[in-house]
Amino acid sequence: MRGIVAIADVPGMREAVRVMRPLKSGSVINISSIWGSAAVAGAHSYHAAKGAVRNMSKKQR
Q: How confident is the model at residue 1 (pLDDT cuts 50, 70, 90)?
A: very low
Contact of 5 with 49, CB cutoff 8 Å: yes
Residue 5 has a pLDDT of 60
Spatial distance between the Cα atoms of 19 and 44, rounded to a whole number of angstroms: 34
Overall pTM > 0.75? no
Q: How confident is the model at residue 61 (pLDDT cuts 50, 70, 90)?
A: low
Buried b (16+ CB within 10 A) or exposed e, 1-20: eeeebbeebeeebeeeeeee
pLDDT tens figures, 4-45: 566 777 888 888 889 999 999 988 887 777 777 777 888 887
